[in-house]
A and B are shown apart, each in its own frame.
Chain A
Amino acid sequence: MSYTALLFLHVLSAFVMVTAVGMFVAVALAVRGGRHTATALALVPLAGVLWAVGGLAVIVFGIWLALHVSRYSLTDGWIIAAIVLWVIGSGLGGRISAGYRRARSDAGLALDPATLTLTLLLVLTVVAILIDMIYKPGAA
């Protein structure tokens, strides 16, 4: 596969992943406000699917890119940082998804407060990944 095709698929996957985060944030804000809880929780199943698909695709195409481009190496500091942040994000996303699914089965009556905190942490993690990808600290 060509460099441009890999880059497009990597970036598109990142957009899918961020879309899932956007849905988690929308649910969190709605649940916190208490006005559209049931409405927002309807987004949870799709957000979970987008998170899983986007998250998996972004790391697969990202590693493929690092192997494909001779100037990049999987041992570059910024690539290792991205992988570590991705692992942290995956853990957070999985827990958030499970928390919202529980709330949805409870008709939104019992949302674990930690889920809201985890959503904020996930946003910060994704922002950190984006900064790392744009600035590529330490890249030659």
Chain B
Amino acid sequence: MILMLRPDSWNLPVLLHVAGAMALVASITVVAVVFVQGWRTADTAAATALQRFGARTLLFATLPSYLLMRIAAEWALSRENLSNSNASWIGIGFAVADFGGLLLLIAIIIANIGARRSRDGGMSTLTKVATAISLLLIVGYIVAIWAMTTKPS
């Protein structure tokens, strides 16, 4: 493999894309851990607090991180003249980002509805679904990191 340094004009969009991706993975992991702890605890008040904390994290940390990652990705692609590329690593990135974005949106909506409905009743079914989605997203993001770093084909 021949190493190539990026032109300076590519660095800012790549920096914002990677920073957004890191904040996205960090925040979705916080959400998954908090929801799993809420699911496992027998203390209903603690479960309610945990799902509220997770739902707010999804809304105020994960969503902005996703938007930063996705918008900066488009900026980086246009700078690198790869907007119309058929490279499989870009395809994997788009698939994970866009399908993951849809799942993330669903998780945000149902987790926040679940947190409002629970009212000290413990972990709601909606939040359990959001937990499963957040764990699935973590797996998808690891695949995306693999594709972005190894750039298959």
The 5 closest A-B pairs by CB, nearest first: A22-B26, A4-B150, A18-B22, A19-B26, A8-B149
Docked CA distance A130–B72 (Å): 15
A107 within 8 A of B: no
Q: Is the CB of A39 within 8 A of B53?
A: yes
Given contacts A21-B26, A22-B30, A23-B26, A8 and B53 within 8 Å (CB-CB): no
Query: Which residues of the other chain, B, contact A8 by a CB distance below 8 angstroms?
Result: 145-146, 149-150
CB distance from B106 to the nearest CB of A (A): 22
B18 within 8 A of A: yes
List which A1-49 residues lie within 8 A (CB) of chain B. Answer: 3-5, 7-8, 11-12, 14-15, 18-19, 21-23, 26, 30, 36, 38-40, 42-43, 46
Query: Which residues of the other chain, B, contact A36 by a CB distance below 8 angstroms?
Result: 49, 52-53
* Chain B interface residue count, Cβ-Cβ cutoff 8 angstroms: 34
Chain A residues with CB under 8 Å of chain B are 3-5, 7-8, 11-12, 14-15, 18-19, 21-23, 26, 30, 36, 38-40, 42-43, 46, 69, 71, 127, 130-131, 134-136, 139
Query: Which residues of the other chain, B, contact A131 by a CB distance below 8 angstroms?
Result: 15
CB distance from A128 to the nearest CB of B (A): 12
Docked CA distance A39–B146 (Å): 33
Q: Is the CB of B15 within 8 A of A14?
A: no
Total contacts A to B, CB within 8 angstroms? 84
Docked CA distance A114–B146 (Å): 37
Given contacts A3-B1, A4-B150, A43-B34, A18 and B11 within 8 Å (CB-CB): no
Chain B residues with CB under 8 Å of chain A are 1, 3, 5, 8, 11, 14-15, 18-19, 21-23, 25-27, 29-30, 33-34, 37, 46, 49-50, 52-53, 57, 61, 142, 145-146, 148-151
Query: Which residues of the other chain, B, contact A7 by a CB distance below 8 angstroms?
Result: 149-150
Q: Is the CB of A19 within 8 A of B25?
A: yes
Residue of B nearest to A133 (CB): B18
Given contacts A4-B150, A15-B145, A42-B37, A127 and B3 within 8 Å (CB-CB): no
Q: Is the CB of B15 within 8 A of A135?
A: yes
Query: Which residues of the other chain, A, contact B23 by a CB distance below 8 angstroms?
Result: 18, 22
A selection of 9 A-B contacts at a CB cut-off of 8 Å is: A11-B149, A12-B145, A12-B149, A22-B26, A22-B29, A23-B26, A40-B53, A42-B37, A69-B3
